[in-house]
Structure 1
Amino acid sequence: MTPAVAAAKRAKIPFQLHQYQHDPAADSFGEEAATVLGQDPQRVFKTLLAADEAGKLVVAVVPVAGKLDLKALAKACGAKKLSMADAVAAERATGYVVGGISPLGQKKRLPLVLDASAEQFDTLFVSAGRRGLEIELAPADLLKLTQGRLAAIGRG
């Protein structure tokens, strides 16, 4: 059981796990999950980390079908400027490997922003903490568990 699954169980929120055989040759972990699970790529979300000039990290959760708007994320966080976090820093802070970073059960509690498009779905899919494992839960439960907030941080 991953820390993400343990966090969801501890919080007693409804969720469903979806496991699939991860292909190491896959170009995009999120798009692979959407395709294999037969889900709309707008409903499967990827977890990205960004950093400000001082190296302070923030978690962004956006649909795999789009991209993260760093300016919008900076505005949502009250930061001047953000850039994508270094993979090593992301792994160290979350306790997960790139491609399996979950917004749940991270080693350090980091500020989290979920793209506002999540509100249109009863449930969404995010990584459950390893490649080939997704957790399906309500957007409100994800925000509750992570103490996150909604903002329009994704684009096209």
Structure 2
Amino acid sequence: MSEQRALDAVVASGLEHIVTRHGRVGSLEEAAAVRGVQPRDIVKTMVVRRGEDDHLFVLVPGDRQISWPRLRAVLGVSRLSMPDAEAAREATGYARGTITPFGSSTAWPVVADATLTGDPDRIISLGAGAHGVAVSVNAEAALAHLGAQVADVTDPEASTAT
């Protein structure tokens, strides 16, 4: 079971954490409310493909999106892509929407957006291997445990307001 694998990995990490089981939610704001964090503290784990059987995780705050030019520059590559749902599952062992670097079937490198750092008390919430299950952890401690490369790789999410 994917959820158990993710949670076992969080426990094995030694990180202080809180598990939240809330079922499916309809928006970032709803997810943040049920998890007790701000929308910016919901962290999306994106799987990015650099090449054949070469992926990485990009940790993106909920209110931001990947800046492809910046991510390519940080990685020193000219092309990146997002794998389709089945390829992402094959690369991580997790279904899209449940992906987490914790307990992934392959320990791909992690790139975390720089906006996730700077506050030693910041708590972030990541998916935990199943829809509606999340784990809240200290951002700095989690990024250190994951060996994340921290870099400016996102832009603010495009506003839909007019």
Displacement after TM superposition at 1:65 (Å): 1.5
Question: Cα RMSD (Å) of the superposition?
Answer: 1.9
**Aligned ranges for residues 1-156 of structure 1 at < 5 Å?**
2-23=4-25, 26=26, 30=28, 32-54=30-52, 56-121=54-119, 122-156=122-156
CA distance in 2, matches of 1:79, 1:91: 23
Aligned length: 152
CA distance in 1, matches of 2:96, 2:41: 20
1:125 and 1:135 in contact (8 A); partners too: yes
Q: Structure 2 counterpart of 1:21, which letter?
A: G
Identity %: 26
Q: Which has the larger radius of gyration?
A: 2
Displacement after TM superposition at 1:67 (Å): 1.0
Q: Deviations over 1:1-37 (max 9, x none)?
A: 52221112112121111110214xx3x5x55422433
Gaps of 5+ in 1: none
Gaps of 5+ in 2: 157-162
Q: Which runs of 4+ in 1 moved over 4 A?
A: none
1:61 and 1:103 in contact (8 A); partners too: no
Q: Structure 1 counterpart of 2:6, which letter?
A: A
CA distance in 2, matches of 1:75, 1:135: 30
CA distance in 1, matches of 2:39, 2:114: 15
Question: Structure 1 residues 62, 113: CA separation in 2 closer, same or farther (over 3 Å shift)?
Answer: same
TM-score by length of 1: 0.86
Question: Structure 1 residues 17, 83: CA separation in 2 closer, same or farther (over 3 Å shift)?
Answer: same
Question: Structure 1 residues 3, 120: CA separation in 2 closer, same or farther (over 3 Å shift)?
Answer: same
- Look up the match of 2:159: none
TM-score by length of 2: 0.83
Displacement after TM superposition at 1:58 (Å): 1.4
